[in-house]
Amino acid sequence: MLPILIICLLASLILTPFIRQLALYFDVTDKPDKRRVNVKPIPSLGGLAIYISFSIGLFLLPIDKVILWPIFISGTVMMLTGFIDDLFEIKARYKLLGQVVAAFIIVFWGGITIEFVNLPFGGELHFGVFSIPLTILWIVAITNAVNLIDGLDGLAAGVSTIALITILGMAFIMSDPVVIMLSALLIAATLGFLPFNFNPAKIFMGDTGALFLGFSISVLSVMGFKNVTFISLIVPILILGVPISDTIIAIIRRMVTKQPLAMADKSHIHHQLMGLGFTHRQTVILIYAISALFSLFSFIFTMSTVWGSVLLMAILLLLVEVLIESLGLIGQNYRPIMKLLRIESDSSDEEKTE
């Protein structure tokens, strides 16, 4: 396995500069605008290096290729969807169509679905006919969540790597060799790209890479955590805590401000952190740290009792809420917890004065 990982890593390191030159030659670049943070055109399509490197490693794996074909074909459809968008900036509905097609392939050909979960106090919850739409919804949601955080140099690649390392660790605990190998390949391919993508970025992954990585992570999380306990179903959500939280907050924010859900803005967590005075690199590293914290919580979750898990989730949700209010992610006036604490603090001060 190690030689295959080295080949995958080297392929990514070699391909990324080559693809950068191609993107510059054909002027496939992200040009500065009001919703981007780059101040000069940056070549895109870096996700091709991740995709090609992963594909090379995929077919070098010493496992039955029948298992791999659905993963490869569906991943290719997702990559092509992002590639076409990077070239022509297609409408959101066409991107969604490509994502749904890829999800259908992995569900109906690959047979990868969330079928049931074991409830914490006994019994099972079977999803029946809803297992297919639930799985497709999960895949599309996670794919877009990763795509949404691709707003700073190295952000999506780094957060995805942290998520993949966590999925690999969970797969190791569960003795799932296929998920271990696929996760390791993606980590190697992404790490080979990251040195060229970290601030100051020489190349962006574009939707080519963001959609492919998001899709791959969503599929691996289903493969690694399907048919598990109800509490353990929270684990993949925790692993992807940053992109999922940012996506949910963005939806709420746009509903509150009555903006179209598909409309891009500059109120994501990375924009708000930079607005507080953090540098580009500091913001990325801080979000890496938050992602790592979510991943740590996911490991603790798997080892906790049911009530311990409930308490842990309550603490985590409170911390997320405080972060949302502190950064003004939904709106500057949305601060219920902070206002409540301020009222209680003012009341205690008045009592002391009396």
Between strands 29-30 and 116-118, the pairing is unpaired
User: What type of residue sits at position 271?
Assistant: H
* Alpha-carbon dihedral angle through residues 13, 18, 21, 23, given to the nearest 10 degrees: -90
Instruction: Give the whole-angstrom CA distance, residue 173 versus residue 22.
Output: 42
Q: Which residue has the tokens 């496939």?
A: 28
- For the record, the structure tokens of 320 come out as 């997320």
Instruction: Give the whole-angstrom CA distance, residue 58 versus residue 65.
Output: 9
Report whether 346 belongs to an annotated binding site.
Answer: no
Report whether 207 belongs to an annotated binding site.
Answer: yes
Between strands 42-43 and 116-118, the pairing is unpaired
Task: Output the DSSP codes for 88-128.
Answer: H---HHHHHHHHHHHHHIIIIIT-----EEE-TTSSEEE-G
Instruction: Give the whole-angstrom CA distance, residue 235 versus residue 100.
Output: 24
What backbone torsions phi and psi does residue 319 show, to the nearest 5 degrees? -65, -40
Angle at CA 220, nearest 5°, toward 216 and 225?
150
Q: Which of 8, 88, 94 is nearest to 51 (CA)?
A: 8
43: cis peptide before it, omega within 30°? no
DSSP state of 304: S
Helix 65-88 vs helix 92-104: angle between axes, to the nearest 10 degrees? 180
Instruction: Give the whole-angstrom CA distance, residue 220 versus residue 179.
Output: 6
Annotated binding residues, written as ranges, equal: 147, 207
Annotated binding residues for Mg(2+), written as ranges, equal: 147, 207
